[in-house]
Structures are given as C-alpha cells and as structure tokens.
Amino acid sequence: MRIRSRRRIAFLFVASSIALSGCWDRVEIDQRGFIVGVGVDAVIQEVDESSAEEESGSTPSGEQTNSASNKKQNKKAKYKVTYQVVTPSGMKAENANAQPTAAYFHLTVEGTTFSTMEANLAQRMSRAPFFEHLKVLIFSEAVARRPGDFAEAIDYFLRDSQMRRSTKVMVTPNKASEILSTQPPGERLPSAYLELVSSNGANSSRILPHTRIGEVQESLLKNKSFGIQTVSNGSRTYSTLNGTAVFSGRSNRLIGFLDGRETAGLNFLRDSIKGGHIEFPYGDEGRGVFIVQRMTRRMRVSFGKDGLPAFDYHIEVQGSLNEAYQIPDTLSEKTLYRMDEYVGQSIKQLIESAIVKLQKQYRCDVIELADYMSRKHHRWWSKHRGQWERGDDLFSQVPIHVQVKAHIHRTGNINISEE
Amino acid sequence: MEYKSPAEKGPNSQTGRVPAASLAENVQYMKDQLQSPEDLLIKSIVMAAGQKGAVACIDGLVDKQLKVQILQTLMQERLSIDSAGAKSNEAEQGAEEGDGSGDGMPVEAGKIPVQDARYSTDWDDILLSILTGDTALFVEGAKEVLLLGSKGWKSRAVEEPQTETIIRGPRDGFTEDIRTNTALLRRRVKDVNLRFESFRIGRRGRKDVIVAYLNGVVNPQLVEEVKRRITTIDIDDPEGSGYIEQWITDRYWSPYPQILNTERPDKVAGAIMQGKVALLIDGTPFQLIMPIMLSSFIQSPEDYYQNWILSSVLRILRVISAFVALFLPGLYIALLEYHHGLLPSKLAFSIAGTREGVPFPAVVETFLMETTLELLREAGIRLPKPIGQTIGVVGGLVIGEAAVTAGIVSPVMVVVVAVTAIASFAIPSYGFAVSIRLLRFGIMLAAAIFGLYGIVLALIMNCIHLANLKSFGVAYTGPLAPLRLGDWRDFIIRVPVMNMVKRPAILETMDEVRINTDDQGEKNK
C-alpha cells in the first residue's frame, strides 16, 4: 500500500511539473515581430512633429510614424526611435509576376526609456516585437553627442534578455531613420544591407572594422576612447560607410568624426587593414593606385628622458599595382622602387593625418596605445593610468613615429598602356 | 536426431502408450488419433517375404521419390526376410523384451535406402515423426515401428533477402526451411567446431530451434545462458522468431531491440565467427543474433566487403542519419515554438514567411505530417508490392505537395518530414529503425512541452536507459561506455582488415585472435 501511494505521489509530481511548467514561453514563429534594425534619433522639439506627420503618408515602404503620442509625452521625450520590422511574407522568394510586397515596415516611437517605447510598439503591432535578430543599431550624431545619452541608450540594448552582443553599432551624422530607409535594388532588408556593407573592409581601407555592441560596452566600462563605424549619405538607394565616429573615454560620448582618409590611417595603426586601395602620386604628373594585400605592423616603445613613452611603428605593406597614369615602364627596377617609395609616403600621410587629429584635436586614444601600454608596460601604466587621457593628458604629448615600407609585388598584366 | 525439449511431452501425450503387435490394431489406433485426415497416407503392403505390413506418412511432407524407393525396397526380393535375419535383428533390438516372440522389427534399418532410420516403440514419438515428414513402417507381429526419414516438402528457393539488400556481397538469404538455413550457414563456416544444438519448443507447435556457435571461440557462459533462456520458453506455439526474441530478451520494456534479427547468412556467419551465438528457427527467414550492442545497428555486412575508408564514412553517415531520424522533427518544433533566435536570421524570416497562413501551430503541423507519413508507410506494406512502392513514393510527394498548396502545412515541414523519412531508411537494421520511429514521437512531445530543454531531457533519459541495458550480459552501449579502445577498430570507424587482429574484447571470447601476427605465424611453421 505504502509503495503504491508513494508511486502515485511521484507520478503526480512528474505530471504536475510537466503540466504546470511546460509550454510557458511558447510563441509561434509567425507571431514574432522580428526587429532587425533600430535607429535612434534625438527629438527636436515641435519642429519634429509636423515633419513626422508628412512622412507617415508619403513613404511607399509603409513607414508609419507615431503621431498618436500626446504632446505631453512629446515634450518630455528624448529619443525618437525608428524600428525596422520584418514582414516575413515579403521575404519569401516569389514568382516574377507577383507584385513584390515590402519586406519590412517602419514604426517610429518617441519616448524617454526604451522599454516604454517597446511597450508602445507592442500596442501597435499585431506581433510582439522580438529583438533576437537585431542586426544594426544606428545612433544619430545628436544622440551620441549629448552627454550621458549614449551610454544610457545602449544600456537597454545590452541588458534586455533578447539582446545579442553581436549587434552592430553605427553612428550617423544624418538622421538615423533616413539611413534605415536605404533600400538598394536587390536587397530586401536595409538592415541586412547595412550589416553586409559594414564588413566590406576587405575591399576598402576606409571602413573601420565593424563594432559590436558588446565591444562598445567593454570600452565604456574601461573608460577608454573608441571608434564606431560612421554611416552617412542616407538615401533611397545607398548609404555610405566611411569614416569613424570618435568617442571619448573621458565623457563616454561622441566628440568628433574622422573622415575616410583618417580612418584608413587609423586602420593601419590598429593593424586592421584587410585590403583597400591607396592612391599615390608619381612625380609631378603621374598617379597610380596601389591595392593592399597584406600588411604587417611592428611597434616598439622607448622611454625618453622625461619618462614619456615614444612609439615607433614599422609598417610593411605588400600589394599590387592596379592602375597607373603616366608612369614609365612599371617593370623596370627603378620605377618599381620609386613607386614603393611613393606608396609608402602616401600611406604615411594617411597615418599622420589620423595621428594629428586624434592627438591634437580630439585627444582621444582610439589607436589603442593604452591597451598596449597596459599589457606590455604594466608598471608604468598603473602609475600613469589617470594621466593618459585626463589630467596631464599624456596621450596628446607622446611622440609617435611611423615608418612605412611598401612593396609592389605585382604590377599587373601589362607594363605600359600608352607610349 | 536428439532433441532437448523443455516441454518433453505435448499436451496430447499418451504417456507410455506402446504399439501393439497387431498391425490392424496399430493402424486403427493411428487413424483414431489423427482422425484419419485426407493427407494421412496409409498403404498396406505385402513384403517380399510374404509378411504383411503398412507404411504411413503425411502427404506433402515426404519426398515422393524417396517414398517410392522405400516401397520398392520393401517389396523386392532383395529384402527377403529370413527368420534368421529377423532373429538376429530381434536379438539386437529387442534384447530387453527377451521373449523372442516376434515383437521386434523384422526389417533391418540398414537395408532401407534412407539416410535416417530408427526404431521406436513410443506412440508419441511415432506420431510426431509422421507429422514432421517421416515414414513409419508397421509390420504384422512387431511391436517396434521403423521410422524412416523421408522429409521433403515444397519450400521457397533461396532468394535475395527482402529487408536487407546490399550492393556488394552474397545475394542468398535465409528461407523458412531450417535445413536450408543450416546448410547456408555450413557453407560459410566450414569449421569442425561449428556446433548446432537442437531444441524443440512449443507444446503444440513443436518448433525446431538450433543454437549455433563456434566452439572454442564463443564464451561458454554465453552459450549456457542462451540455452537456459530457451528452455524457459513454455508456450503452445512460438510462431516465427519474434516470439522467441521477445521471450529471451533482457528487458522487454525497452524500445530498443536487444537481439538482432537478420535474413542474411553472411551476417550470421560473421557474428558466429566473432564469438556470438545465433538462433536458427524453423519456419522463418529471420534468424537471431545475440548478444548485440547499439553499434550493431549501424553496421552492415557490406562494410567489410568494401574499402575501409568508404565503410567508415558510411557508418558515420548512418550515425548522423540515426540522429536526424530521431531528433529532426523535435528540433523543428523546438526551434519554431521556442528558440527563434537560434535560427539564422534569413532562415527565421523565410520560415516565418512560409508559415504565414498556416492555420496550425508547428506542433500540430508536425504531429499531423509525421502521422501521415507513418500511415503511408503502414499502408505501403499492406498494399500489393507494385502498388505499395508507388504509394510510398508518390503518395508522400502528392500528399505533401497538396497539403502545402492547400495551406495546411508549410513547405519547410514537408522537407523536414521527407528528410526524416529518408534518414530512417538509411539505418541498416529494420528493428532499430522502428524503435527510432517510435522514440521520435516521444522526442517531439518533449520538444513541444519544453523546447530544446525537453529534447535534452529526453536525450538524457535515453542515455540513462541505454547505459543500463544489457544484451545477454554484454553492455549495450558497446565499446563506448565500458571503454574498450581496442574494439573501436570496428565501431564507428572500421579500420583496414589487416588491423582488426582481435575479436571484440567485450564478448570475452575464448580465442581472441583473428589474425596471426608475425611471431605466431613463425611458431606455427
């Protein structure tokens, strides 16, 4: 008897644990509102209201702007967030005759906290917002520049359990919603498009390696300066990924941009060049284009009399000649050496322009010298940690010497195109 | 032939009943016992010596030619039975009876041109012999009956096995006739140590069962255990090998088969050579091999006929296919109901897109389609052969396609179901494939309730069960769980034949070495 009743109780335990806890978070995949891109803009009072109204009617992709939120809320609102939601039926490969439906639509919500905005979103969508497939997070310059706002905004995208640390972060000097509306022909989702472009570093030296949100948090925690990819020129057909948004470790906010050339220089310094081209002059008239294929970077630190470290960069670049104008026989040894020389100079110029801007103008150590010092010269670093970017501002004073050697390994299929 | 029988006497047993001296009385008794059916042939004869006699047999069970020969011999001059011959015979056979009044059989067994002839004075024995195809000779005045082996009936020719077809390898398969089967086995194992031990099982069915093993190789304890389990079978009629398999299996609650059944003589021969025991059962082409491990199900005899690299790759493929057949629908449910973030983005969107308009949740969809597939399979078996295959292939495609067009299921579901079905067909053992089909539904249920967590739970439960399973004392999880690294040479990877020097250590065979290593070869010289 006793055994039997015990068995009965055991069975009840098992059955109830299954019945009570099973299926609790079951959601059908077609009931998810996949959000693939989020654009965060700053709210500009009053002016924004009317423009938003216009937008909602005119955009063909079914962009809907939240104009329903009342003015009281609007006054307090800090962010205007555009969510890119996938329309799965538009993602299906359809037969040629059918009118292609849009693969996404936009919802714009204003508010101060992201969770409230997400709740607002849920009130308007038939499918609950789902962030696990979030690809890109775009901040407008205004949000990134306001002190405290950037870190505050990024907190939600790190803290929520649906968020992934691999989401790419970008900064735009334009409006984030415009960037999100880019839809080149052939691409169904702007966010997927942006994600693909962001990893095109192998084809262009002007693209910073993509920044994951997890890496951004690491930098924020370490109070160190960092760069984020910049996306600009938001239009219907394309956006340009070019340049770097420099975030200062002192204030954790955006402090300025590096343009494409300076970004290339930064990439050389950080050993993150995967490819790309270098235009170089040849003599007075000639010009050529050098394609980077491989680079090696060696750096060395020497301490001067004043105890300041001086950095020596030895950069060796190998690549091929892809274009030549008014350059004599590219196969002759003399020309080759001269070209190597010119390429080296051009690269050095790129690098130095980046160094000057970072050291003198922004005073932000995006080059990651701080990391190097903390790893290789930890004793020195632990003494001067507080003086690097703040206080004495050592970073802006340390000498950085750059030596570049370029080798053209291949000059292409021809040696001269015209006599 | 001597039989060891657990049910020594059938339920019809007339214990101690002995044939009478009178021919008429005996014939009458026999007719009464069998209710003189149409196929009972009794021919009264007058033998060359003038003695009266009768020959009884069952029509259809005896070799007609042999029977004519027997009759000829009995009725011809050559077998003139002088009283002296009869006397001497009497002296030999009926010594105990002692009265010498002609109770013994006057016909000498050695003079009848049949291979197998013996005397009997037990009615049970006589009747059973007649029913198994022997011819009984009654002679007036003799209490003894001469039983002449004249078995010969219509049996299916040796054909290619239906359930286990392979590309390269012998094409003969077992038949329903146990004699043919033992012959097939003998032709492969020409070792003097090959032992066939016969049992007769079933109180009414009287099925012949032969325990086959290689003496000197096999672990004697294993043979004893197999024989012990066989003698426990006490049933009216163990039809087919299934009855015996289920009766002697270690854990009949388990969904996993712990005895391998096969139609292939080469598989049985290989197993015997390895040191396993085989059961040959009359009346079925499916013979049993024991003990087995989980790995036996992904191994096919073809593995040994082919290049070892190819075999190894194919085995890995089969392992994968077993996992796919077991887990794919469950994973589909888990990923579509719970873990949408685990799918690659594009796949997630496209699945979400194709599922738009599908009225059922993924769980219902999956159960619906899997059940339909099982239905198709079951129907395919019942249908006549040419139609069956068409139904199997076309039915699946047509129903799947129609269901997608009708919007009942999503196209991805059809892919999942089809891949699962194909994967389960890639498993060489039908019995194991059936177990996996069964367990698949359990996994699907677990996935429906708890998602991936449920699948993991189900997997753990399975592993615990498997680790506990034993097949005739041998751990079911093969050389994996009691780790026998030496046996890994023929596990998932099959090493080149020259490197498979030893028999599986897990079987604890008496003779461990399969291949003479060099120094042993020297010794032999």
Per-residue CA distances from B168 to B159, B187, B268, B302, B312 (Å): 16, 19, 17, 6, 16
pLDDT tens profile B379-425: 888 888 777 777 776 777 788 888 888 888 898 999 999 899 999 98
For the ranges B8-22, B73-87, B158-172, the lowest mean pLDDT is seen at: B73-87
Specify the DSSP element, H or E, that contains B246.
helix B240-248
Q: Nearest CA to CA, how far is B342 from chain A (Å)?
A: 9
**B513 SS3 class:** strand
Residues in A closer than 8 angstroms to B447, CB to CB, are none
> By mean pLDDT, which of A57-66, A93-102, A128-137 is the weakest?
A57-66
DSSP output for B286-302: -EEEES--GGGGG--TH
pLDDT for the residue numbered A45: 57
Nearest-angstrom CA–CA distance, B447 and B456: 9
Q: Does residue A384 have a pLDDT over 70?
A: yes
Please calculate the CA angle B191-B196-B198 and round it to the nearest 5 degrees: 170
pLDDT band at A52 (very low <50, low <70, confident <90, very high): very low
CB contact (8 A) between residue B352 and residue A30: yes
CB contact under 8 A, B450 and A22: yes
Does residue B368 sit in helix, strand or coil?
helix
Is B341–A26 a contact, with Cβ atoms under 8 angstroms apart? no
> For residue A407, what pLDDT is reported?
93
ipTM of the complex in this document: 0.83
Q: What is the reported pLDDT for B14?
A: 55
Residues from chain B contacting residue A36 (CB–CB below 8 Å):
345
Domains of chain A, by residue range, sit at 29-90+100-258, 267-410
**Distance from the A363 Cα atom to the nearest Cα atom in chain B, whole angstroms:** 40
Q: Are A91 and A83 in contact (CB under 8 A)?
A: no
Of all residues in chain B, what percent carry a pLDDT higher than 90?
42
Q: Is B192 helix (H, G, I), strand (E, B) or coil?
A: coil
C-beta of residue B198 within 8 angstroms of C-beta of residue B446: no
Q: Which residues in chain B have their CB less than 8 angstroms from residue A105's CB? A: none
For residue range B210-232, what is the model confidence (pLDDT) as tens digits? Answer: 999 999 999 999 999 999 999 99
Distance of CA A272 to the CA centre of its chain: 14
Q: What is the mean pLDDT of chain A?
A: 85
Query: Is the model's pLDDT at A66 over the cut of 50?
Result: no
Mean pLDDT over B289-293 rounds to 93
Mean pLDDT, chain B, as a whole number? 85
CB contact under 8 A, A34 and B352: yes
B62 Cα to chain A: minimum distance (Å): 59
Q: What is the pLDDT of residue B88?
A: 44
**E-only strand ranges, B166-302:** 194-201, 207-214, 260-262, 277-281, 287-290
What topology does CATH give the domain A267-410? Answer: GMP Synthetase; Chain A, domain 3 (3.30.300)
Q: A86 touching B, CB under 8 A?
A: yes
Task: Encode pLDDT of A269-289 as tens digits.
Answer: 998 888 888 999 988 888 999
* Alpha carbon B178 to its chain's center: 10
Which pLDDT value is given to residue A387? 86
Whether B93 has a pLDDT exceeding 50, the answer reads no
CA distance B405 to chain A (A): 15
Residue A344 has pLDDT above 90, yes or no: yes
CA angle, residues B164, B387, B364, in degrees to nearest 5? 85
The single-letter DSSP state of residue B393 is: I
Average pLDDT over residues B122-138: 88
d(Cα B378, Cα B400) in Å, to the nearest integer?
17
Question: How many Cβ pairs closer than 8 A exist between chain A and B?
Answer: 74
Determine the pLDDT at residue A100.
63
Q: How far apart are CA B198 and CA B203, in angstroms?
A: 16
Compute the residue count for chain A: 419
**What are the backbone dihedrals phi and psi of residue A179, each rounded to the nearest 5 degrees, phi first?**
-60, -40
How much of chain A, in percent, has pLDDT values that exceed 90?
38
Task: Give the pLDDT confidence score for residue B519 in this predicted structure.
Answer: 58
Verify whether the Cβ–Cβ distance B361 to A28 is below 8 Å: yes
Tokens representing residue A122 in the block: 């849920």
- Residue A127, chain B, CB below 8 Å: the answer is no
Q: What is the pLDDT of residue A58?
A: 36
Q: How far is A132 from chain B (nearest CA, A)?
A: 5
What pLDDT score does B454 carry? 93
Closest partner CB to B449 (pick from A22, A34, A92): A22
pLDDT in tens, B145-161: 889 888 888 888 899 98
Q: By the CB < 8 Å criterion, does A166 face chain B?
A: no
- What is the structure's pLDDT at B247? 92
Over residues B312-325, the pLDDT tens digits come to 999 999 999 999 99
Closest approach of B464 to chain A, Cα-based (Å) = 17
Q: Report residue B79's pLDDT band, with 50, 70 and 90 as the boundaries.
A: low
Which residue of chain B comes nearest to A90, CA vs CA? B353
Could you tell me the pLDDT band of residue B376, with boundaries at 50, 70 and 90? confident
Measure the CA–CA gap between A115 and A163, rounded to whole angstroms.
13
**Which residues of B lie inside 8 Å of A (Cβ-Cβ)?**
335-338, 340-341, 345-346, 348-356, 358, 361-362, 448-451, 454
The structure tokens listed for B37 are: 């059916």
Q: For chain A, give the secondary structure using H, E and C.
A: CHHHHHHHHHHHHHHHHHHHHCCCCCCCHHHEEEEEEEEEEECCCCHHHHHHHHHHHHCCCCCEECCCCCHHHHHHCCEEEEEEEECHHHHCCCCCCCCCCCCEEEEEEEECCHHHHHHHHHHHCCCEEECCCCCEEEEEHHHHHCCCHHHHHHHHHHHCCCCCCCCEEEEECCCHHHHHCCCCCCCCCHHHHHHHHHCCCCCCCCCCCCEEHHHHHHHHHCCCCEEEEEEECCCCCCCEEEEEEEEECCCCEEEEEECHHHHHHHHHHCCCCCCCEEEEEECCCEEEEEEEEEEEEEEEEEECCCCCEEEEEEEEEEEEEEEEECCCCCCCHHHHHHHHHHHHHHHHHHHHHHHHHHHHHHCCCCCCHHHHHHHHCHHHHHHHHHHCCCCCCHHHCCCEEEEEEEEEEECCCCCCCCC
Average pLDDT over residues B197-208: 89
Candidates B337, B340, B404, B453: best to mutate against A (most CBs of A within 10 A) is: B340
**Phi, psi dihedral angles at A135 (to 5 degrees):** -100, -55
Residues of B in contact with A27 (CB under 8 A): 337-338, 340
- The pLDDT value given to residue A167: 93
Is there a contact between A229 and A123 (Cβ–Cβ < 8 Å)?
Answer: no
Q: Which residue among B337, B352, B355 places its CB closest to the CB of A26?
A: B337
Find, in chain A, the residue whose alpha carbon is nearest to that of B343. Answer: A133
Q: Which of B340, B449, B451 sits opposite A29 (nearest CB)?
A: B340
pLDDT digits (tens, 9 = 90+) for A292-334: 999 999 999 998 888 889 999 999 999 999 888 888 888 888 8
| Residue A49: predicted pLDDT | 44
Q: In the numeric block, which tokens belong to residue A300? A: 């060395």
CA angle A368, A370, A376 (to 5 degrees): 105
A29, B336: Cβ pair inside 8 Å?
Answer: yes
Of A22, A36, A88, the CB nearest to B356: A88
Q: Do A90 and B358 touch (CB under 8 A)?
A: no
Taking CA–CA distances from A25, the nearest residue in chain B reads: B338
Higher-scoring residue by pLDDT: A286, B77: A286
Pairwise CB contact (< 8 Å): A28 & B345 = no
Contact yes or no for A28 and B350 at CB 8 A: no
Query: Tens digit of pLDDT for each residue in A86-97?
Result: 988 877 655 555
Q: Which residues of chain A neighbour B450 with C-beta distances below 8 Å?
A: 21-22
- Residues B194-212: what's their mean pLDDT? 91
Identify the DSSP state of B107.
S
pLDDT digits (tens, 9 = 90+) for B324-352: 999 999 999 999 999 999 999 989 998 99
How far is B348 from chain A, CA to nearest CA, in Å? Answer: 8
Q: What is the pLDDT of residues B34-54, one digit of tens each?
A: 887 888 888 888 877 778 888
Q: Is the pLDDT of residue B9 over 70?
A: no
Per-residue pLDDT tens digits for B427-483: 988 889 999 999 999 999 999 999 999 999 999 999 999 999 999 999 999 898 889
Predicted confidence (pLDDT) at residue B81 exceeds the cutoff of 60: no
Selected residue with higher pLDDT from A393 and B87: A393
How distant is the alpha carbon of residue B85 from its chain centre? Answer: 47
CA distances from B510 to A330, B217, B507, B516, B523 (A): 80, 5, 9, 15, 20
> Strands (DSSP E) along B73-201, which ranges?
117-120, 135-139, 145-148, 194-201
Q: Report in angstroms the alpha-carbon separations of B486 from B18, B478, B494.
A: 60, 12, 12
Contact A192, A134 (CB under 8 A): no
pLDDT value for B100: 40
Interchain contact, B362 vs A32, CB within 8 Å: no
Residue B292 confidence (pLDDT) above 90: yes
**pTM of the model as a whole:** 0.84
pLDDT of A140 higher than 60: yes
Does the beta-carbon distance from A91 to B350 stay under 8 Å? Answer: yes
Q: Percent of chain B at pLDDT above 70?
A: 90
